[in-house]
Amino acid sequence: MTQKIAVYPGSFDPITNGHLDIIRRGLSIFDHVVIAVAKASTKGGLFTPDERVAMIKDVVGESSQITVDTFDGLLINYVKKKGANVILRGLRAVSDFEYEFQLAQMNHTIEESIETLFMMTSVDYGYLRSSIVKEVAALGGPVDAYVPPLVAKALVDKLQHVKKQS
């Protein structure tokens, strides 16, 4: 039987409990989820793509159902290369809709056989995004409710390092 594989792409700068919730739920539908960290992001990252991958691997642990990787270039090409035909994305409050809608339509125009599947955010994570977590951490606030402990620690370390350099 062919495996049902989904690619879950994003910046993951850093991974949050909201992302982890989508991954966990995705695994109840798919045999395998490829977490794909975008190397080229318009958002400009705090962590390097390799640091993000290492963090995600630490958080999700060893599992035959999960691959963590980076990708560059056209997402559709990467999805095909991975033998997947589904792009998994999460949807938060209304603000995500317009962007995700455009992205999904664009990808579907490029490759009709690849579908984007959206999962509604869970109630607890509706307003959780990496950028807010970074802002709170930069201001010295607690982020333990939003990210796993090792990510909270990595944030503190990274922000201290960045501060020293500036």
Q: What residues are labeled active site?
A: 19, 43, 92, 130
Q: By CB under 6 A, tell whether 121 contacts ligand ADP.
A: yes
Q: Toward ligand ADP, which CB reaches closer, 55 or 128?
A: 128
Beta carbons of 76 and 111 less than 8 angstroms apart: yes
- Run of H or E including 33: strand 32-38
Phi, psi of 73, deg, nearest 5: 80, -160
The 58-97 site mask, x for binding ligand ADP (CB under 6 A), equals: -------------------------------xx-x---x-
Q: How far apart are CA 38 and CA 10, in angstroms?
A: 6
The 22-61 site mask, x for binding ligand ADP (CB under 6 A), equals: x------------------x-x------------------
User: Can you tell me which of 5, 6, 7, 11 binds ligand ADP, judged by CB under 6 A?
Assistant: 11
Q: Toward ligand ADP, which CB reaches closer, 32 or 129?
A: 129
For the record, the structure tokens of 25 come out as 């739920």
- CB under 8 Å to 10, separation ≥6 — which residues? 19, 36, 37, 38, 89
Residues 51, 127, 79, 110: what is their CA dihedral angle, to the nearest 10 degrees? -130
Interface ranges with ligand ADP (CB under 6 A): 10-12, 16, 18-19, 22, 41, 43, 89-90, 92, 96, 121, 125, 128-130
